[in-house]
Amino acid sequence: MPLDRIPWRDHLAALKWDQGDHIMVAAPTKSGKTTLAKDLVERRSHVITFATKPRDATLDTEYRDWTVISHPREIRPWMDRIIVRPKVNAKKVGDVMAATRAAHREIFPQVFDFVYREGGYCVLIDETLYMADPKYGGVGSQIEMMHYHGRSNGISMVTLTQRPAWIPKIIYSSASHAYIAKTRDSADLRRLGDLGNVDPKQLMQDVQSLPTRWDFVYTPSLGEGNPGIINTRK
């Protein structure tokens, strides 16, 4: 049975996203997943996201009203929307890359510790593969813990990825809501079967048949709502 196409603003108005519920977004670059995530987290008052690149046009434009900090000690309870961007000091190109990894590996775990201790936050991760990979952000275990214990701690995780096959399974099994863009990759399609409360074969068919790269199959895998097709441009 074909999915209904739901206007994006209508979908946002009807979405039941409780504190502690997690959202997963899987879509290739230039498909609108960062815009989708920003529209979602605008519903939250205390949100933390991570800047993994020295320069990020999307964060610098669409998130320009957020508070940028370089260390978790700068976080204050009254800060509503925070971007964590560690300071990197290096002179050579090779040094910059090494210093960036070192800064991320030092600062990001401290931010997760703060969030876990305080509770009640929404954590937006735009580059989940980078954050989870031990060679780079190195906070894969913290991401998994947040998904395990997020509901009881009042923490909502919003995790974005370009490829469904690249991120930990716990993100799928704990997601209350999922937004999946078109893919025909066999590894990606198999991983989508880890989403809870969905028919894997039907989901695979729906995802493969999406008409454009800006369309997403929405599925309330563990939450309330009706599945459908949404597009942030419409």
pTM: 0.92
Instruction: Give CA–CA dist 146/217, Å, rounded.
Output: 25
Range of the domain at 109: 18-179
Mean pLDDT is lowest, of 57-61, 181-185, 191-195, for 57-61
Residue 115 pLDDT exceeds 60: yes
Cβ 131 vs Cβ 108: under 8 Å: yes
Identify whether 6 is part of a domain: no
Identify whether 190 is part of a domain: no
Bridge partners (DSSP) of residue 41 are none
Identify whether 206 is part of a domain: no
Residue holding tokens 């979602």?
40
**Where would I find the beta strands (DSSP E) of 27-147?**
47-50, 67-69, 81-84, 122-125
pLDDT recorded at residue 170: 92
Residue 123 pLDDT exceeds 60: yes
Higher pLDDT pick, 58 / 161: 161
Position 1 confidence tier, pLDDT thresholds 50, 70, 90: low
Both tokens assigned to 128: 């989940």
Per residue in 204-221, pLDDT tens?
899 999 999 899 999 998
CATH code of the domain containing 45: 3.40.50.300
Total domains in the fold of the chain: 1
The number of helices, as runs of H, and strands, as runs of E, in the chain is 9, 9
Identify whether 82 is part of a domain: yes
Identify whether 157 is part of a domain: yes
CA distances from 232 to 5, 56, 78, 179, 205 (A): 12, 21, 30, 11, 21
Residue type, 142: Q
Identify whether 212 is part of a domain: no
Identify whether 207 is part of a domain: no
pLDDT recorded at residue 144: 93
Position 142 confidence tier, pLDDT thresholds 50, 70, 90: very high
Per residue in 41-83, pLDDT tens?
998 989 999 988 877 777 777 788 899 999 999 988 788 899 9
pLDDT recorded at residue 94: 64
126: Cβ–Cβ under 8 A, 6 or more apart, which residues? 34, 37, 49, 50, 52, 58, 160
Identify whether 60 is part of a domain: yes
Instruction: Give CA–CA dist 97/124, Å, rounded.
Output: 23
CA distances from 111 to 9, 72, 108, 130, 231 (A): 32, 6, 5, 16, 32
pLDDT > 90 fraction of the chain, expressed in percent and rounded: 48
